[in-house]
Amino acid sequence: MARSLDLACRCAQLADELKAKDIIVLDLTRVTPEFDYFIIATGNSRRQLHAIAEEADTLMEKSGSARIGIEGYDSNAWILQDYGDVVLHAFDPASREMYDLERLWADATRVDWQAYLAEHA
């Protein structure tokens, strides 16, 4: 689980470096056995969403967590990438508001990914 947390926080940092907005990491370990962490980020264009998804793929693959599923890549509005224990959700603003994953997974704990990375640098 510590490895999953580290990867989720690193994906959040990557999204931040690519100028994503409102980036959150949700700890789902006490909510569902299906996933450990969600990363949710907002991008302003299809190009930005693709950059986030592609760079996350590179990071995760180098870390030994190859992607096992992808949805929405051909969409202009959202991309979901499943790495098993970590799932990346990249949305445009309207789709993020519509899907409202923060409310749907309200029982999940928010991770302060920036503090985690600073502590584990």
CATH number of the domain enclosing 63 = 3.30.460.10
Cα separation, 7 vs 25, in Å, equals 11
Token pair 């928010």 in the structure block, residue: 110
Domain count, the chain: 1
- Provide the whole-model pTM: 0.95
Which of 24, 45, 25, 49 lies closest to 37, judged by CA?
25
Average pLDDT in the chain: 96
User: Does position 38 have pLDDT exceeding 90, yes or no?
Assistant: yes
pLDDT confidence band for 75 (50 / 70 / 90):
confident
Segments forming the whole domain that contains residue 97: 2-119
